[in-house]
Structure 1
Amino acid sequence: MKKIFILVLATLLGASILSAKSAEHKKVKKENLKEKHLKEQMEREKKFAKEQKFYKGKEYDLSAQKVDPKDLDSIQVIEPENDFDMTDVYRDDI
């Protein structure tokens, strides 16, 4: 009777230890996953900040690229050619 009691007690103790280790492993795995997602989100935020810096353009000096309106008068205006006929597109005998 003592042997059965000891065997049952040892089995329950072993199962509880394995269960505790499994729960701890799941907790560590979950924390690692959270940390990984946090790092990924931080990288996205850095990329977003870099893009916003570009789009706002506060650090860029574009004054050298400005066009003087007086220079635009010397450029010839090119009139569009309106000779395109859509009937040629749908013809089958071509």
Structure 2
Amino acid sequence: MNKNILAIGLVFLVVGFGAGYWYGGTVAYDNGYNAAAADIKAQQEEAAKKAVEEAVKNVNPFQATNPLEGVTANPFEKAKKALNPFAQ
């Protein structure tokens, strides 16, 4: 009878280890899969955001530097108005 109890206990022990190993593997896999999916989604969103910002910078002419900023078209315009009061 002792051998039967020992054999049954050993079978339950092996089955318990197997079930624990299987359960731990599935939980760890699910956690890893969810973490990887969230990481990939965050990377894709950041890449899309960067692409949109680059596209907006290239399309919007007001964000580009103006090469003629600070250059006056006719420097004598002010002098002409000051010296000739009859000019329209």
TM-score normalised over the length of structure 1: 0.62
Aligned amino acid, residue 3 of structure 1: I
State the 1:43 CA deviation.
Answer: 1.0
Runs of 4+ in 1 over 4 A off after TM superposition: none
Question: Which structure shows the bigger proportion of residues in helix conformation?
Answer: 2
Once residues 32 and 13 of structure 1 are traced to their aligned partners in structure 2, the CA distance between those partners, rounded to angstroms, is 28
When the two chains are superposed, the root-mean-square deviation of aligned CA atoms in Å is: 2.5
Which of 7, 16, 19 aligns to 2:18? It is 16
State the 1:53 CA deviation.
Answer: 1.1
- Confirm or deny that 1:56 pairs with 2:58: yes
Which of 33, 42, 45 aligns to 1:43? It is 45
State the 1:47 CA deviation.
Answer: 0.9
Once residues 66 and 2 of structure 1 are traced to their aligned partners in structure 2, the CA distance between those partners, rounded to angstroms, is 94
- Confirm or deny that 1:31 pairs with 2:33: yes
Which position in structure 2 is the counterpart of 1:72? 73
State the 1:28 CA deviation.
Answer: 0.5
Matches within 5 A, 1:81-92: none
Once residues 10 and 67 of structure 2 are traced to their aligned partners in structure 1, the CA distance between those partners, rounded to angstroms, is 88
More relative contact order, 1 or 2 (CA 8 Å, 6+ apart): 2
Aligned amino acid, residue 73 of structure 2: L
Once residues 11 and 61 of structure 1 are traced to their aligned partners in structure 2, the CA distance between those partners, rounded to angstroms, is 73
For structure 2, list consecutive stretches of 5 or more residues without a partner in the other structure.
Answer: 77-88
